[in-house]
């Protein structure tokens, strides 16, 4: 039997190749939006669909078939960012077993980073759409997560752990005022000190 005949026989004996199951449209949209979050955080609205497609290793047409246009894509990316944030909060953002000051320090740094990322995300959509990302009971995620973290420190605080989340979030927003006034910006350590001794009294050992 010739080599060509052997090859033909081998091919005929092989089982027919099976094509991978096509991804459902909703799953494809979710996958693209999820993988796009860090890219939009890095590049902002200047990220083109062509660049995005190259980064994700897909055809640019796949993006448009999934979302229709870039505006719909950006809305989906922003929504995914907030969904991921709430999921992380529900899982626990700081180890409750740590000491009070260490927990607050980690929380403040994480909160400020999250706020910076949030502002980058919100810059992708029209201002009129921004309120839609903050309406509903799901906005309790941060407050609830912080309350759980500091529940064991309730006796050390001058406020309820349930009120600490809104205070840290508001203080974090104010601390980022350096965008408008460089002299007004606070460092993470300054903010931790301000919040810690504002809610727990004077530093230990001081009269």
Provide the mean pLDDT of the chain: 83
pLDDT in tens, 39-68: 999 999 999 999 999 999 999 999 999 999
* Residue 15 maps to a domain: no
Q: How many domains does the chain have?
A: 2
Number of H helices, E strands in the chain: 9, 0
Same-domain status, 72 and 153: no
CA distance 110 to 89: 11
Cβ neighbours for 105, distance < 8 A, ≥ 6 positions apart: 188, 189, 192
CATH number for the domain spanning 32: value is 1.10.10
pLDDT in tens, 128-174: 998 888 766 556 888 999 999 999 999 988 889 999 999 998 888 87
**79 token code pair:** 């929504």
- In whole angstroms, how far apart are CA 80 and each of 102, 108, 120, 125, 154? 30, 23, 14, 13, 33
* Residue 53 maps to a domain: yes
* Residue 13 maps to a domain: no
Same-domain status, 205 and 139: yes
Considering 68, 85, 102, which residue would you say is the last residue of a domain? 85
Same-domain status, 77 and 174: no
Same-domain status, 29 and 64: yes
In terms of Cα–Cα distance, which of 158, 191, 189, 190 is closest to 173?
A: 191
**186 token code pair:** 């606070």
Angle at 122 between CA 118 and CA 127, to 5 degrees: 145
Q: At what angle do helices 161-175 and 100-122 cross, to 10 degrees?
A: 50
pLDDT band at 92 (very low <50, low <70, confident <90, very high): confident
- In whole angstroms, how far apart are CA 202 and each of 4, 115, 171, 195, 206? 88, 28, 19, 11, 7
70 alpha carbon, distance to own chain's centre? 20
Q: What pLDDT is recorded for position 191?
A: 84
CA distance 40 to 48: 10
* Residue 69 maps to a domain: yes
Q: What pLDDT is recorded for position 204?
A: 54
Domain of residue 29, residue span: 24-85
């Amino acid at each position: 039997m010739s080599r060509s005949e052997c090859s033909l026989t081998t091919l005929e004996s092989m089982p027919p190749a099976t094509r991978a199951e096509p991804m459902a449209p909703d799953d494809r949209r979710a996958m693209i939006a999820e993988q796009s979050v860090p890219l939009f955080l890095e590049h902002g609205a200047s990220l083109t669909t062509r660049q995005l497609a190259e980064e994700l290793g897909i055809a640019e047409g796949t993006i448009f078939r999934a979302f229709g246009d870039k505006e719909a894509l950006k809305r989906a990316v922003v929504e995914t960012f907030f969904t991921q944030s709430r999921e992380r909060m529900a899982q626990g953002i700081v180890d409750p077993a740590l000491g009070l000051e260490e927990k607050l320090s980690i929380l403040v740094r994480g909160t400020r980073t999250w706020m910076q990322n949030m502002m980058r995300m919100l810059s992708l959509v029209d201002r009129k759409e921004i309120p839609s990302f903050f309406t509903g009971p799901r906005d309790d995620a941060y407050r609830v997560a912080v309350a759980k973290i500091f529940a064991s420190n309730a006796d050390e605080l001058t406020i309820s752990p349930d009120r600490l989340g809104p205070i840290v979030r508001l203080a974090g927003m104010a601390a980022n005022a350096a965008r408008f006034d460089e002299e007004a910006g606070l460092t993470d350590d300054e903010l931790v000190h301000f919040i810690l001794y504002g809610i727990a009294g004077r530093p230990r050992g001081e009269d």
